[in-house]
Amino acid sequence: MSTSQDLTTENGFKAYLDAHSIPRSSVALLTGGTANYVYRVTSSSGQNFIYKHAAPYLHSNHAFVFDPVRMDYENHVLTVVPPLLQQQLSNSSVHAVGRFSYDEERRLLCLEDGGERELKKAYTDARLQIPRIGEEIGKWIAALHISTTNAPLSLTDTQDLKANNPVGVAIYRHAYSNLATALENYSHDVEFGKHINAEYGSRLATENECICHGDFWPGNVLVKFRDDEKKGVDLTVVDWEMSRRGTSATDVGQFAAEAFLLDRFRGGRGLLPAFLNAYVKARREGSSKDNIVIGREWAKRMAVHWGVHVAFWPTRVEWADREGTQKLVDNRDQVDLQIRTAGFRIVLNHAGKCLAFPEPPAPSCRRWGNFWPSEYLILGYHKSDTRAAFQTSWQHT
């Protein structure tokens, strides 16, 4: 490799394009990401392409070693997943970012340009029908989970369902591994955070239901209007390098947590309930295909991941001032927040350090029908419990 083709610099990347006879009218190094070097290339015909390069360290921190094999997994997933999704959900405004080519030696992936606006930033745009977008995303991620239960992630063995993306597994545990520190900084029990990491963070290494996106949140969904009338939108799901085989509950828990934060701090436009309703409905309709039941254990796992995400990430990414962040960690501002979904209801409640996640809806929710039992699941941590363990019980409402 010529040193002039250093893909971590704009001039080096241009030299690479020249060496490979790839014409262009412009090249721009994009900002905002922390992991990779991402360029937008405009061809002589005016079409845009995204080139994504993985160095053996973070773009934002060269001292942080980051295995570039992550780009091999993104390339692999974007080769395997789209045909499966097309079979499962042929008509959707959501799609995985298109893949054009991959230089494995240089860890350089050429992708479709899904636009410049992330759903997180576009959320407040009054022209967007946020509930409709939430519904589309919920159905789409359900289709991903249903269609990939038997899709291997191995880079070498097309039959190996046990092989996983070690980078994705390790990075996804970050919130669990650092939960204790976040709780300590906001005057909560460190041992509780350690327990959650040991009990639930450890499961990331063995959970193996389906292919998970691995970093599924509104920041990785690009929004682009289809035409000048700005009535319809295309939603492009990007950043698949953390994809792994795992439990669908974590993808849903992460997106639900971020949707909750958007609804809480950016105008209450209803992204969360629309997303959850659509997801649960799609999974229940598809249960005959994947034989996965969305029930108590799944809801528990999703709720725990949701809680970990909301307790940890707002202490690193600013959503509110110190007092507002304290409330998020405390879960006090989530008292009586009820999200009635198509199959279960989740209530985030604060009682000491108790998070309550009822499932299914209480009998008073008659508009959902009369076939749910009058009981709910409580997952909680109590100060009096010296074992610092989640306790589960069924109680009548």
Tell me the mean pLDDT in the region 182-189: 84
Task: Out of 30-34, 72-76, 114-118, 164-168, pick the least confident.
Answer: 30-34
Task: Compute the average pLDDT of residues 70-81.
Answer: 98
Mean pLDDT of the chain: 82
Does the pLDDT value for residue 386 go beyond 50? no
Assess whether 238 and 379 both reside in one domain.
yes
The pLDDT of 122-148, averaged and rounded, is 97
Please check whether residues 368 and 249 belong to one and the same domain: yes
Identify the band that residue 55 occupies on the pLDDT scale cut at 50, 70 and 90: very high
Q: Is the pLDDT of residue 249 over 70?
A: yes
Within this chain, do residues 11 and 132 fall inside the same structural domain, yes or no? no
Q: Which of 37, 66, 95 is the last residue of a domain?
A: 66
**Residue 362 — pLDDT band, cuts 50, 70, 90?**
very low
Give the pLDDT band (50/70/90) at residue 327.
Answer: low
Provide the pLDDT confidence category of residue 373 given band limits of 50, 70 and 90. very low
343 with 380, same domain? yes
Is the same domain home to 158 and 242? yes
Same domain, 175 and 301: yes
Above 70 in pLDDT, residue 200? yes
pLDDT exceeds cutoff 90 at 254: yes
Using pLDDT thresholds of 50, 70 and 90, give the confidence band for residue 292: confident
Q: Give the pLDDT confidence score for residue 331 in this predicted structure.
A: 58
Share of the chain above pLDDT 70, in %: 79
Instruction: Tell me, yes or no, whether 247 and 303 share the same domain.
Output: yes
Q: Does 137 score more than 50 pLDDT?
A: yes
Q: Residue 2's pLDDT is what?
A: 54
Q: Do residues 242 and 72 make contact, with C-beta atoms less than 8 angstroms apart?
A: no
Provide the β-strand partners of residue 49. 41, 112
Regarding whether 19 and 168 lie in a shared domain, the answer is no
CATH number of 383's domain: 3.90.1200
User: What is the model's pTM?
Assistant: 0.84
Residue 391: predicted pLDDT: 32
Task: Report the chain's terminal Cα–Cα distance, integer Å.
Answer: 67
177 or 189, which is more confident: 177
- Three-class secondary structure assignment of the chain: CCHHHCCCCHHHHHHHHHHCCCCCCEEEECCCCCCCEEEEEECCCCCEEEEEECCCECCCCCCCECCCHHHHHHHHHHHHHHHHHHHHCCCCCEEECCEEEEECCCCEEEEECCCCEEHHHHCCCCCCCHHHHHHHHHHHHHHHHHHCCCCCCCCCCCCCCCCCCHHHHHHHCHHHHCHHHHHHHCCCCHHHHHHHHHHCHHHHHCCCCEEECCCCCHHHEEEEECCCCCCCEEEEECCCCCCEEECHHHHHHHHHHHHHHHHHHCCCCCHHHHHHHHHHHHHHHCHHHHCCCCCHHHHHHHHHHHHHHHHHHHHCCCCCCHHHHHHHHHCHHHCCEEEECCCCEEEECCCCEEEECCCCCCCCCHHHCCCCCCEEEEEEECCCCCCCCCEEEEEEC
If one counts the domains in the chain, the total is: 2
Tokens of 276: 């959850």
What is the residue range of 307's domain? Answer: 67-396
